Structure formats: structure tokens, C-alpha cells
Structure 1
Amino acid sequence: MTSDQRDSAKLENMKSQSTEDNTHNLARTESLDSDNDLENLPNFAHYNEAVPIELSGVNEDAVSRSLSRIQSQRSSLSRPAAANILHPDLEANSELTKEDEGNTFSKRTKNICVVIASLSGFLSPMSSLAFLPAVPEIADRFNTTGEVINISSAVYCIFMSISPCIFSPCSDIYGRRITFLVCALLFSICTVLVAVSPDLPTFFIFRALTALFGTSFFSIAAHIIGDLFIPEERGTNMSWVISGAQIGTAFGSVLGGIIVNYTSWRVIFWVMAGLGLVMTVTAFVFLPETSRQTKHSILLAEIRKDRPDKKFVFIPFNPLRIIVALKYPNLSIDGFITIAVVYAMYALLTPIRYVVDPRFNLTTPIYSGLFYLAPGMGYLVGSFFGGKWADHVVKKYIRIRGRRVPEDRLRTVLIPLGIVYPSCMLIYGWSIEKEKGGMPVPIIFMFISGIAQTCIFPASNAYCVDCLPELGGDAIGSSYFSRYLAAAVASATCLRSVDSIGVGWTSTISAFVLWIGFGCALVLIYWGEAMRVKSLVKYGLRKEEELVT
């Protein structure tokens, strides 16, 4: 039997099995009448779930080229050379999907991984915003203005957007665990160097590097969730990861306000360095490698056939692949949803001390820092039900359709994105602008906006993991790339906007950006599946006959 015949037979077998599984699962869904039944919900065989593990990599081409070169060098020993030959262990399991990986870990191990992923997400946003209450003091130390110091936040956000372009592919190539450990250690070292910065350029440089290493935890954590959990469980667990990041965003500023009120602003960064070191040790002890097989292990196993003592092989990759992933319309449209949310979030949080202090005659950093507790508590409360709500909606529509459609998850963002969050922004901004309602009004609506955000992010992040698993880490990496560019724009422009047109109109602009994001969600819900199927065929990731609909 020729290679083409074997491939054809394998494809027919996969399609036949997929059809049988769909029929069986559809029959089972008819008996699912409660959430208790949903716990035993089958994993539906659909084209975007039955992704061979070797398809889901960023750098498979590089690995295949290297394997072909190694095997060609062995041709004199009568070993056949062939292009795009995968490692035998991988080829033997080519029908293993991402969902199968999740079954290899115990529930306890999965929970430990979720806790570590969530806590790691705390570091970068906390480092990003913990110094905000100390901006006037830092500006005085370096003989500059608060606006210049806030530009360092914009630079920080730019490097946050670059981070997934580098470390998302690295986690695919070398593994989640080693990439996580290296980034955690380098984050701690760079944060120490921020704390001892003698001048403004040094402060800017090492702040940027802390962003580069610290933001890697977001994309690595998303990969870990994708490795460990089936789609119907990802929203709930993704919400815990996201809550860690958002709580760090808000409570970091509270911590910064307390520290700068009683001691030097440099202590903020010493504390962050200590937290980074604790995270490094914790991950070293408790975090396993969640990838079933890394690109590095595939290539190293082949090289060791000739050189048994070989320990490491460098695999080149193109970081621009993350950006190129935005050519898929589903990712670019979903990316704007997160852009809208992050833009509004940073436009709200960055200028708080400059907006709230004069409005309520606050004289010390600790008081304005306490305002960050409002959205922080909203993030914490929302984390308990935002992801679970998204997973419930996915299961509900599986019962209705008889199969899973990733776009159904985005139905959970419509109310928080289209109504709740923009309304909060408008009421917050104009209550301060017109000096109406006193302190309770902005505090209450900052709290509600925090809940709304935590209902949007888990659905959007899980959608990136679910919708195009063929892209591996590119999908979620592209989302983080785009959203932190928006954060950079918001950080750099919000103070100038508040000075020029007032906090009311600045918040109104944020509300309109959120409504555009709401329109993007509607587009994906109603036309996303058709766009996704068309793009998979157009860019050669799938063939029409493979798409079981």
C-alpha cells in the first residue's frame, strides 16, 4: 500500500469515526435536561476538535525541515529521506487530539496548575499599575512630569504586546514548564534592577524588560488550560487565570498606594521582585510539563539516534507568526473585543489619582489608591461565575445543535459588553465631571465594571483557544499582542485626553469603543463559523472533505 493510499484510508477512518461519534453524542444530548447531566456531557467530534496534535504547532515546518536534513544525512546508511516526516512516536499517535491530553493528569494536578497559572497572571499587571499612586513621587525623583512617567506605562504595554510573539512559540517548542521558569526568574531579576534604577533611561529599560518576561505568563497559562481541559471546561478555568491578572491590576495599585504613603516608591519593586521569586520556586516544585510532546523533544529524539549525548538543539522560529495569525478574520475580530475592553480598563485606571484627588480633595496616595479596590473587588466577584456562565452557554447550545460551535461561547459577552460596561463608563465619567453623587457613585460603577470585564475576558480567551486549534499558540498570542497595544495607547493618551476634553468625554469615547466591540461579538456569533471554515480552507490548514459539519 502506498503512502497516499495509507493517508487516504486514515482520513476515511477518521471521518467515519467522527460521523459515528456525532450520531452517538447527539442521541445522548436528547436526554440531558439539567446541569447535573451536563457534567457527563460527551466531547463532540467536530472538525475543529479532531485536530491531530502535530497540526497545532507554530514551527512544525522548521521541525520537519530539520528532520528531513538529519534523515538525508543518514541516507548512506539506507535510511530513507523524506520531507515532513514526523517523529515515529508522534506519527503513531497522530489522531490524538488536544482533548485527549487533558485526561493524562489527575484532578489534583490540574487544580495545582490552575492555581499557579492564576497567581502568575497577578505579577505583570500588578507591576504595571502598582506604581501609579507613586507617579508624582517618581516624577519628582527623576525631575520630570507625571505624563512622562505614564509614557513608561505605554512602553511597558508595548513590550507586553511583544512578549507573546516570543514566548508563546517558545512554550510550543521547548515546553510550558521551562519557558515559565525562565520568564519568572528573569522577571524577578529585571524588577530588582528597576528598584535600583539611578536615572530615567534605566528605569524605562528595565520596566520594559519586566513587561517582556512578566506578560509571558498570560499566553503560557492559556496554553496550560488548553492542554489540561476539554472545551466545555475551559471557560471556568480560564476565568481563574484572568481573575489573577485583573486582581493584580487593581490591588497592585492599592498596594502601591500603601507603600508610597509610608516609605519609598522603590519598595514597590522590591516587593514585586520577591513575589516573582516565590512564583519561580513554586513553579519549579509543583508545575509539571503539560504538553504531551514538544517540538524540541521530537527533534532531539531524532538527533540522538546519531548523537546519544546531545542535550539541546536550537529550533529557530519567526515571532511575526503571532501577528500574521491576525489574517484569520475570527482572530482579528475577536481581538478587537479584547482591545475595546482593555482600552476602557486602562483609560479608567491609569488617571485615577489625577482625576479622583482633586474631585474629592484627597491629599495622600493611600486614599486614592483605595479607589482601585472597587474594580478589584468586581474582578474577584466576577471570577466566581463569569467563566462558569460561558461554559454553561456552550453546553446549552450543544444540546440545541447536537455539536459544539465555538462562537456560541461569545453569547455570554453581549450583555456585559453592550450594556453594562459602557453604561458604567458613562456614569463614572460624567458623575466626576459634573461632581454629582459623591464618592459612592464612581465606586459602585467601578465595581460593576470589574464584574463585566470578568464576564467578557474568559469567553474571549477561551474562544481563541477553541476556534482555531490548528494554529496552536498563535491564536491566543495574537489576542494578547493586539490587546496590549490598545493598553499602550490608552496609557499614553488618557491624561492628555482628560486635560483636553475632560473625564466625561474621555469615558464617552471608551463607551463607544466598547459598543464597537459589541458589534464585533455579534458578527462572530452569527457569521463566525462560516468565516472560520472558509479561512481554514483558504490558508490550507484543512481540506473541504475533512470538515464534518
Structure 2
Amino acid sequence: MAMQKMPSTEEKAQNAAVDPPGVEAGLGSINEASDAPYSAFTKTQKRWILALVALAGWFSSLSSFIYFPAIPAIAADPNESIGRINLTVTAYLIMSGIFPSIVADAADTMGRRPVFIVTLAVYVAANIGLALQTSFGLLFFLRMAQSAGISGSYAVTYGVIGDLFTPAERGGYSGLVSFALNTPPSIGPVISGLLLHRWGWRAIFWFLSAISPCCLLAIVFFLPETSRRIVEDGSVPHGGLVLLSRPLMPFLTPPARRHGSNTQYPGGGTKPARSCRIPNPLTALILLKEPGTAIVIGSAGIWYTIYSCLQASLSSLFTEIYQVSGLVSGLSYLPFGIACAISAYGSGRVLDIDYRHTAARYGISVEKRKDHNLSSFPIEEARLRSIKYSLAICCILTVGYGWSLQRGVHMAVPLVLQFFIGLSMQGVFTVLSTLLVDLHPDCPSTAQAGSNLIRCELAAGGLAVLDVLLRAVGPGWCFVLWAGLGLVSLPCLYILERRGLTWRQRRSRSQ
């Protein structure tokens, strides 16, 4: 993205009072941009690649939301308690926190394509096992295996966004991916309810076993390697095993990379082979020593805990309070899911608008197809300028939702509140995920995995005490507690918005 300095002397004087430290001094480095496009992939190729990886990430969300409505039916089959079956949700979340750290580090070092192929193969096998298992022990173990296989796809998907798109266009495409990843909260429970009504809970896993191989085959045949560490802008050939390194049908590969392995790369000669290493799950945690990253990941973890508790309790609370059937409890997820999908798409557009607004504020022009150095650009301000209002509204709505259930008011009231909670909450995840990619362009998948690790472990802890809280204080005070926890993130994000650039520049000078 090419940046050109445009402010007049008078405009600089007017902005001096509001510019964060380091912006004025760093405008020169902001303007340093390559004339070459950021990516060698065509616009059509990038969109198809994004569709493929978003489909893989889609299964990560679907596996959770297709399972929630089935919890009462699964508990009734082997005569287990709902609290015991909820442990399989907790185990799923624990593995969703641990394995993406390994998967993402592998994706950042070995490439996106081989990681997608291996993890999806594990996921397909786990789904078949879940459909056939007959004991709680196997259910518990195979849910962990299912999570280990698919949970890393979320982080790697955002890594691909960083590979293909500049910061100026990243928000819109992050919104599209978030839109795709947030259709399961609405359609997953509906599919689950229909399958439960017609065939029983095992049909859920047979359904996943039937459709997930289609995604695996599409990636084997069409997905090219996109990691900038390996193929740079996409034009450098990638050696290695054909199945793991190159698609069988190169329709989505840039023309410069389709012929041979001796293509020249900048600097002359051929690109030297990269040495592989064992993925290190602690790499993601090392990023937490940076205060800006810690605030982003911590805030994402808090809100994902609230999100998980809202969704995990929905089916059981509606069944208990309103005496609804499995099909109706599945349909009750629709308002939240639809709102999340709408919000994901809209928040991506807002991110791009906020980026342009911030750039204009400092007199910087933006060219979407070309990259620039963010070391002197207040990207924290650009990404977080609108999020504060959504967070405050979501906390108020969460309190209202809990008390509407506590008082047993008409079912329409909590469903409407669910819709507006989803509308205000999903934008938080889109913004924070995009900001993580901006802060760590060299290892976006690892950064997302660090976020995934913290948020899943926090959510697992929240779900472990959820049933206890609901029984002890009721849904009203339970969700007051969760809303209060959400408010903790507000001042932290405000500090990051104001001080983030200064922290990054201080760290850069100390290195």
C-alpha cells in the first residue's frame, strides 16, 4: 500500500495536539512502500483461496454449534447427566486452546497447505469415530481428537488473510471471513435439531463425516501455498512433496509459479530451501510479553468466555424454562447466529472506513494494493476507534438477557436480546482478530493461535463453573457477573488505543 504525505504546514500544526507520540516523526517511514503489488495472486484467485480456507475454518465453528442442541439427547442415551456431557464441551475447548498453538506454528514455518491437509484428515477420521462410538469415554476422547484436528484452521485462515491482503483492505476481507465463520451459530443448531428430530444424535456426526471430506478434497486439488515466508508474494515456487506443497490442479496458482522450480526470486538465483523444525506450541505464548498483544488477546478471551456461556446454556435453559422440544431449542439459536453473520460483514466494512479515516486524520493517502510499514502508523487507533460503544451496549444487553430468563418472561424477549447481543458482540471478535494480524504480520497464524489458546482455556474455565453458577444464583445474577467481567476489557482497550504506537516504537528501539 503506497502512502504519500500530504498535510500542509498549517494542518500539521492543527494536528500536533492530537497526534500520538511518534506519528509525526515516523511519517517518512510510513510512506516507504514498494511499487510492486503486495501479492502476485489475482483478485479472483485471492477470493477463491479465501473461500477455501474459510470453508475449513467454518467446520471449526460448526462442530461446536451443531453439538450444543444435542447435549440433552446425548445425555439421555447412555443415561449420563447434562453436567457430565458438558465436560465434553470443556474438553473440546481445552484442546481448541492447545492444538492451534502447534498447528499455527507449523503453518508459519512449514506452510499453510500441508497443515490444512493433515488436520482435516484427522478431523474426518474423528467424525467417523464419533458416529460409531458407544461409551462416554470414547465420546470424551474423540471430541478431543475432533477439536485437535479442526480447531487450528481458524488461526491458519487468518494467516492466509495476512498473506494475501494489505492492511488497507484487510478489514473488509476479515469481515467476510468472520461472516462465513459465523453462519454456524445460526444454521448449525437448526441442522442439529432437524437431524435429532428425524434420526437421533448420531446423525450429527454422520453428517459431518459426509461433508468434511469434500472440503479436504477441494484443498488437495486446488489450494496453493500462500505463506510469505515460503513463496513470498506468491510468485516463488515451493519445493517438497507434490501432494503437500503443490495443488494437483494449479488454477489458483500465479502464472509465474506454475512452471518449474528454478524461478528467480528478488536478489538473484533460486530461493534456498527452508529448514523445517518441530513446531513449538510456546511460540504463541511468547507474544504475550508485548503489552499491546496481551491486551488484545486478554480482551478476546474475556468476550469469548461470555459468548461460550451464552451459547452453551441456551438449549438447556430454554428446555428447562419454556419446556421446548429439541427442534425448537435448535431454532432458538437462529437470532444470535443471524446477528453474528450480519455484524461480521458490517464490522469488516467499518474497519476499512476507520482505517481510511485515521489515515486521513494524519494526512496520509491510502492505496489498497500496496503495502507499507506500520511501525509509525497508529494502527491501534484505526482498529479500536469504534469498538468501545459495542462493548458497552453488549454488557447492558447481557444483563437484560439474564434477568429475562430469571423472570420467565415470554420467550420472544430473550430471543430478541440474543439477536442484539450477537449484533454487538461479533464486531469485537472481528476487530481484535484483524488487529492481531496487523501487529504480527510475520507470524499471523501464531498470533491467532495465542489468542485461541487463551480464549479457549478461559472459556473452558467459564463453562466448568457455568452450571454451578446457574444453580446457585440463577441466570439473572449469573449473566450480571459475566457482563461485569466484560466491562474489565473497556479501559484496557482504551489504553491500548492511546498508547499502542508508543509501546511498539519503544520495543522496536530496544531490539
After TM superposition, the score normalised by the length of structure 1 is: 0.76
Corresponding residue for 1:33? none
SS at match of 1:126: helix
Distance in 2 between residues matched to 1:508 and 1:48, nearest whole Å = 44
**Cα displacement (A) at 1:100:** 6.0
Corresponding residue for 2:251? none
Distance in 1 between residues matched to 2:38 and 2:273, nearest whole Å = 28
Distance in 2 between residues matched to 1:268 and 1:25, nearest whole Å = 58
Of 428, 431, 449, which aligns to 2:401? Answer: 428
The Cα offsets for residues 449-482 of structure 1, whole Å up to 9 and x where unpaired, read as: 1111221112111100112335553322211211
Structure 1 residues 311, 198: CA separation in 2 closer, same or farther (over 3 Å shift)? Answer: farther
Corresponding residue for 2:328? 367
SS at match of 2:226: coil
Q: Which residue identity lines up with residue 408 of structure 2 in the other structure?
A: E
Of 374, 381, 405, which aligns to 2:378? Answer: 405
Q: Which residue identity lines up with residue 369 of structure 1 in the other structure?
A: G
Q: Would you say the 8 A contact 2:321–2:408 is kept in 1?
A: yes
Distance in 2 between residues matched to 1:507 and 1:471, nearest whole Å = 36
Confirm or deny that 1:319 pairs with 2:281: yes
Corresponding residue for 1:239? 175
Which aligned pairs between 1:150-229 and structure 2 lie closer than 5 A? 150-229=86-165
Q: Which residue identity lines up with residue 370 of structure 1 in the other structure?
A: L
Structure 1 residues 400, 157: CA separation in 2 closer, same or farther (over 3 Å shift)? Answer: same
Q: Point out which structure has higher relative CO (alpha carbons under 8 A, 6+ apart).
A: 2
Corresponding residue for 2:341? 380
Corresponding residue for 1:444? 416
Corresponding residue for 1:118? 54
Structure 1 residues 367, 300: CA separation in 2 closer, same or farther (over 3 Å shift)? Answer: closer
Q: Would you say the 8 A contact 1:331–1:478 is kept in 2?
A: no
Q: Which residue identity lines up with residue 236 of structure 1 in the other structure?
A: G
**Cα displacement (A) at 1:224:** 0.6
Corresponding residue for 2:216? 280
Distance in 1 between residues matched to 2:48 and 2:238, nearest whole Å = 30
Confirm or deny that 1:506 pairs with 2:483: no
Of 455, 462, 476, which aligns to 2:434? Answer: 462
Confirm or deny that 1:269 pairs with 2:269: no
Corresponding residue for 2:247? none
Structure 1 residues 100, 447: CA separation in 2 closer, same or farther (over 3 Å shift)? Answer: farther
* Identity, % of aligned positions: 23
Note the residue ranges of structure 1 that are not aligned, 5 or more in a row: 1-17, 31-43, 51-94, 541-549
Note the residue ranges of structure 2 that are not aligned, 5 or more in a row: 12-25, 241-260, 263-271, 365-376
Of 497, 517, 521, which aligns to 2:469? Answer: 497
Q: Would you say the 8 A contact 1:119–1:241 is kept in 2?
A: no
Confirm or deny that 1:109 pairs with 2:45: yes
Q: Would you say the 8 A contact 2:4–2:31 is kept in 1?
A: no
SS at match of 1:264: coil
Distance in 2 between residues matched to 1:199 and 1:209, nearest whole Å = 15
The Cα offsets for residues 38-86 of structure 1, whole Å up to 9 and x where unpaired, read as: xxxxxx9776897xxxxxxxxxxxxxxxxxxxxxxxxxxxxxxxxxxxx
Corresponding residue for 1:84? none
Corresponding residue for 1:14? none
SS at match of 2:39: helix
* Larger radius of gyration between Structure 1 and Structure 2: 1
**Which sits farther off after the overlay, 327-336 or 118-127?**
118-127
Corresponding residue for 1:333? 295
The Cα offsets for residues 321-350 of structure 1, whole Å up to 9 and x where unpaired, read as: 111211111111011221122111111110
After TM superposition, the score normalised by the length of structure 2 is: 0.82
Which aligned pairs between 1:46-195 and structure 2 lie closer than 5 A? 102-195=38-131
Distance in 1 between residues matched to 2:69 and 2:293, nearest whole Å = 35
Structure 1 residues 531, 292: CA separation in 2 closer, same or farther (over 3 Å shift)? Answer: closer
Distance in 1 between residues matched to 2:30 and 2:296, nearest whole Å = 17
Corresponding residue for 1:10? none
Distance in 2 between residues matched to 1:327 and 1:316, nearest whole Å = 22
Corresponding residue for 1:545? none
Distance in 2 between residues matched to 1:237 and 1:49, nearest whole Å = 24
Q: Which residue identity lines up with residue 376 of structure 1 in the other structure?
A: G
Structure 1 residues 478, 237: CA separation in 2 closer, same or farther (over 3 Å shift)? Answer: same
Q: Would you say the 8 A contact 2:90–2:463 is kept in 1?
A: yes
Structure 1 residues 148, 515: CA separation in 2 closer, same or farther (over 3 Å shift)? Answer: same
Distance in 2 between residues matched to 1:48 and 1:272, nearest whole Å = 47
Corresponding residue for 1:92? none
Count of residues paired in the alignment: 451
The Cα offsets for residues 121-174 of structure 1, whole Å up to 9 and x where unpaired, read as: 221221123122221221233332111111111110111111221111111122
Confirm or deny that 1:476 pairs with 2:448: yes
Q: Would you say the 8 A contact 2:195–2:203 is kept in 1?
A: yes
Distance in 2 between residues matched to 1:219 and 1:373, nearest whole Å = 25
**Cα displacement (A) at 1:280:** 0.9
**Cα displacement (A) at 1:207:** 0.7
Structure 1 residues 264, 299: CA separation in 2 closer, same or farther (over 3 Å shift)? Answer: closer
Q: Would you say the 8 A contact 2:161–2:173 is kept in 1?
A: yes
Distance in 2 between residues matched to 1:49 and 1:504, nearest whole Å = 52
Distance in 2 between residues matched to 1:141 and 1:283, nearest whole Å = 36
Distance in 2 between residues matched to 1:138 and 1:49, nearest whole Å = 58
